[in-house]
Structure 1
Amino acid sequence: MADTSPDTSNADRLVVAVRYVDENNVPNERILEMKETRNKTGEGQAKEILDSLKSRLPICHDGLVYQFYDYTASMSGTFNGVQQHLQEMVGRNIPYIPCQGHSRSCKRDSMLQEHMEKIENALKLRNLSKTRWVYRSESIEAVWRSFEAIRNALAEIAKIDNNSLTRTKATSLCKKMVKFEFVFAVMFMRFIMRKTKILTVQMQKPELNILDGLQLIDETVRSLERIRHNESELNDQIDASVEFAKTLSSNP
């Protein structure tokens, strides 16, 4: 059995495990090895799996009776998948048993990281937290600061990804990103959430007392009301969004 999954640094890790029956006819399952893998092709993965078996087990290829991977094309493909290449390398038929895939794409993430490295002060994308309000501000800030990298990565995925559904989604997201409505929403919410983030951080301090807390809330509310009633502040956001949209060849 084998599968790949990204670790916390988003390096792709290949885990190879075996099921076997011991001398007492008791079934066992053991992880043989976990290692970083860079070659995500079916042939490359098959070679990595066989290398793990050879280096960890005193058995020859005749000891392999089944192979067990997920449904992804690189693993299950009948022409270029791991299961087919492994059979070719061993030189005989080894039945393949599929399971459901459940990992995200390191390849697509590495594309994004490559584009982000070209942009000064780009921020890594964050999940939109449902419980921590302060992280919402950081999520929006990351999209804004890495806007160009995200758009370029989506455009690249839309052209070269092997999965037609992924290409369609990437194309759709890329088109939505350059629409004026999206540009303005990100810019405006970045402006607003920056103010609420300050309040949130202050309200989480252990030494805060109730009177200071009420004063902070009141000041934040008044600040937001000024934005709502002061046309110049809102117009500044609109003008900035218009200029940015023009750089994207979008018609605001």
Structure 2
Amino acid sequence: MSKVVTEHIVEEIGDSFYTVKMDGTRDPTGCENISIVLRFVDENYVIKERLLTIATAVAGDAKTLTQTLIDEIRKAALSTDKILSQVYDGASLMSGRHGGVQRLLQDELGREIPYVHCFNHQLHLVVVHAMSGERAIEDLFNICNVLYKFTQKPTVAAHYQGNTLKRLLEQRWTGHLATVQIILKSFQDIVELLRHVENSASFPADLRMEAAGLLSRILKPSFKFHTQIICKILSLLEPANRMMQSEEMDLQTAVQLVNTAKECVEALRTEKVFTEMWSECAQERADDTIHPGPTKRRRTLNTTLEDYVVEETVGVGTQENHQMTEKRRLFYSCIDAVTGEIARRFGERNSAFMEAIASLNPESSFFLEPEKVEPLLKLTGTTLVDAEFIVAKKLILKHVDSITPPEDGKWTLKNILGHLHTTLEAMPSVLTAFKLY
């Protein structure tokens, strides 16, 4: 069955150029299990991704992984000459400029094969690096993790009426988003659960103490404030993360998505947003409707101060102002960290290849300019014919202006190829450039 499926995939790819995507994980025996995915445009100009195989490597070094990749592609009767680009995560083993898989593959095949760091992985690193810079945010997720484990205990879970909390995974920040969303939505249910466990003698003493500790932490205004910050930022990044997992996503659109998400996060950076968030959290504490504070000890007047008068208080007001100042700093710091990481990780996209890809967008100011597209065609050894690009540009722009756009109101290369691929077959260099997009 595996052989039949592989043969069908090879038949689908045919003579098309393809992109290699590879990732691996080590099993308990120490062997490296490697998934090899190929992305290509089939004969009907449809973008497809296929899992070619899951190979096993006895070692996890770059040289072994590179050789395994080449061997599996050749074993499937595919030509390595048709590899257009390579996509991995950002680990030095894969992305290293001198000894990584991406470099060794190019050296082994003797030609340039551009490496693209997986955008979803980069977006994950943006969140991890940005959030890890603030101790308060790390503490928040530590509490969330403890809270998740607490609610999973059988004796506790039976009394919990809210939505089930999610387990936090270091490899997937979407779990962090799901966790803070559930906490905000089921906050009252969580409080009631902790209060019930704390005050019920039917639970063991250690469980009651754990509930009391968690309750004291989550009832602080700072906990809910930190939760709201994370929820707002991650919610704005989630659409880009989800859409970039689409099989039909391309680099140009992915860059636009990330930049749009960055602009949305930057829009949060206003005093109005901060004030609204902090006022809501502080008001809940002031109302003291959720959980009354502990009874204070009886106060007695110090006899040495009988002849003195206090004209104003400084303790409470100063403390509240200091707390608000710190939360304001944290609010702006988190936003700046995320937008800064996005700019750093996704800003290095002004290469010749990205310009070539951008030039294939009908909305680009340098649409189908031959000198812009040339670096892309060089990867496949395709001869660029200027006349074909001149004619194709006029034909496509005329078509776009005269025909009603698709349902989403925007022309894409997929839509253009769907309408004009028969005509573009008379312009092979242009058609090849579109298929490489």
Structure 1 residue 249: Cα displacement: 5.3
Structure 1 residue 187: Cα displacement: 1.7
Aligned to 1:143: 183
Instruction: Indicate whether 1:132 and 2:180 are aligned.
Output: no
Runs of 4+ in 1 over 4 A off after TM superposition: 249-252
Whole-Å separation in 2 of the counterparts to 1:112 and 1:148: 11
Structure 1 residue 169: Cα displacement: 0.8
Aligned to 2:245: 204
Distance change in 2, residues 1:150/1:249 (3 Å): closer
Cα-to-partner distance string for 1:113-142 (whole Å, 9 max, x where unaligned): 3xx3xxxxxx32111222222222111101
Aligned length: 140
Whole-Å separation in 2 of the counterparts to 1:199 and 1:130: 19
Match of 2:281 among 230, 241, 246: 241
Aligned to 1:194: 235
Structure 1 residue 145: Cα displacement: 0.6
The 5 A counterparts of 1:1-252 are 105-113=153-161, 116=162, 123-160=163-200, 161-228=202-269, 230-245=270-285, 246=287, 247-248=289-290
Cα-to-partner distance string for 1:54-105 (whole Å, 9 max, x where unaligned): xxxxxxxxxxxxxxxxxxxxxxxxxxxxxxxxxxxxxxxxxxxxxxxxxx63
1:180–1:250 CA contact under 8 A, matched in 2: no
Gaps of 5+ in 1: 1-103, 117-122
1:133–1:197 CA contact under 8 A, matched in 2: no
Distance change in 2, residues 1:169/1:182 (3 Å): same
The one-letter code of the counterpart of 1:107 is: T
Whole-Å separation in 1 of the counterparts to 2:266 and 2:275: 15
Whole-Å separation in 1 of the counterparts to 2:292 and 2:211: 18
2:159–2:193 CA contact under 8 A, matched in 1: yes
1:128–1:136 CA contact under 8 A, matched in 2: yes
Distance change in 2, residues 1:107/1:249 (3 Å): closer
Gaps of 5+ in 2: 1-151, 294-319, 321-437
Whole-Å separation in 2 of the counterparts to 1:148 and 1:192: 23
Q: Percent identity?
A: 18
Distance change in 2, residues 1:249/1:126 (3 Å): same
Aligned to 1:20: none
Whole-Å separation in 1 of the counterparts to 2:291 and 2:190: 16
The one-letter code of the counterpart of 1:167 is: R
Question: Which entry has the higher C-alpha Rg, 1 or 2?
Answer: 2
Structure holding more strand per residue: 1
2:177–2:234 CA contact under 8 A, matched in 1: yes
Structure 1 residue 166: Cα displacement: 1.2
The one-letter code of the counterpart of 2:212 is: T
Cα-to-partner distance string for 1:154-206 (whole Å, 9 max, x where unaligned): 11111224321111111010111110110111122211121121221122112
1:112–1:149 CA contact under 8 A, matched in 2: yes
Whole-Å separation in 2 of the counterparts to 1:217 and 1:204: 13
TM superposition score normalised by structure 2: 0.30
The one-letter code of the counterpart of 2:157 is: D
The one-letter code of the counterpart of 1:149 is: D
1:134–1:201 CA contact under 8 A, matched in 2: no
User: In structure 2, the residue corresponding to 1:143 is in which secondary structure?
Assistant: helix
2:168–2:179 CA contact under 8 A, matched in 1: yes
Whole-Å separation in 2 of the counterparts to 1:249 and 1:196: 34
Cα-to-partner distance string for 1:202-244 (whole Å, 9 max, x where unaligned): 221121100010011111112212222x221222222222233
